[in-house]
Copies of this chain bind each other. A is one copy, B any other.
Amino acid sequence: MRGKIFWIKIMKQKPTLKVIAKELDVSVSTVSKALRDSKEIGEETKQKVKAFAKLYNYKPNNIALSLKNKKTKTLGVIIPEIVHHFFTTVISGIEHHANDKGYNVIVGLSNESFRKEVINLEMLANGSIDGFIISVAKETLSVKDYHHLSETIDQGIPIVMFDRVIDEIECDKVIVDDAKTSKKAIQKLIDSGCKQIGIISTKDYVSVGKLRTQGYIKALKTNKIDLNEDLILKIDDKFNSDDNLEFLEEQIYSYFENNTIDGLFAVNELYAITAMKVARQKGLKIPEDLQIIGFTDGVLSKHAFPPLTTISQHGFEMGMESAKLLIDRLENTNDEEEPFKTTVVKTDIIERETTKL
């Protein structure tokens, strides 16, 4: 009789150890141990408990476990925007490795805003996650205020930075060798016969933008080509550039007005695509009159017309590496602290149809 009423009650909500214990007339500890196959418990009781647990689909409550173990098996990922091919491939990579290791991923968006980044960090740093993977907001880079990051690290919560990293903060990092990669791209343009090569980059506070223009400069120097500062266009987009498309287009347009180039390296897909668009408006044939290489291999590059030669950053791999670095650190039980690592993932030039041969 009692049983019947009881069933109905537990059908709805997940049963807890306590419920099972009461129903089977054993103690909570016994149930717990039986389920974990402890040798302290008799075979018979074990079977009984397991059968019951299976029948009512018992699953230990994650929150209770987190509280007890002081670890949540959850990673916090904070990125500037999510409607963005590169970042989503990175998330894919993170998820992949995290799931493999039994971790969940909780995503926070900073929208390139310093304030939102701080809020997100604080919101999650109160026990919700074991560690962070982050690519910092442009605004954070430009105001150079990193207290939220150093504070979380001081609290014992490890951080892994990827792509946009901060030299001043000591933590694990995953990057591509931006300078070297862009140098390689420029070299390719030179080898393909370009004489006047331009670059469209971001303002220098964006670490990757800075490095990529450095690579550009270095490549020219190596090839004994004089540096013409006019050929370097530094776009200032503090926020999501997709919203400022006209602004971007204007800047690139006037750049093309003032310079004649036969090779162009763009620091991201969007810049490259937009450049192609205005080049077309100005009657330039690609790749005959103008060769273009982009950075980041996203949907745009692949499906552009003509398909864009670009640099693949291997976002998925970056994500995997980031998750690996973080989880390794989290699960490292040695009491000596591991030194911080920076892993560099390789880049490739994906040759499509905006470059010759």
Contact = CB atoms under 8 A, between A and B. Distances in A.
A32 interface: no
B156 A13 contact: yes
B123 A104 contact: yes
Interface in A36-85: 57, 59-64, 66-67, 72, 74, 81-85
A215 B49 CA distance: 54
B107 A74 contact: no
A273 interface: yes
A197 B64 CA distance: 59
Interface residues of A, number: 53
A107 B105 contact: yes
Contacts of A127: 14, 61-64
A310 to B, nearest CB: 14
Interface stretch (A89-97, A188-196, A338-346): A89-97
A82 B74 contact: no
Interface in A267-284: 270, 273, 277, 280
B92 A88 contact: no
B67 A126 contact: no
A224 to B, nearest CB: 37
A300 B155 CA distance: 43
Nearest to A75: B106
Nearest to A106: B106
Given A64-B67, A92-B109, A109-B95, A155 B82 contact: no
A305 interface: yes
Interface of A: 11-14, 57, 59-64, 66-67, 72, 74, 81-85, 88-89, 91-92, 95, 104-109, 122-128, 151, 154-156, 242, 270, 273, 277, 280, 298-300, 303-305
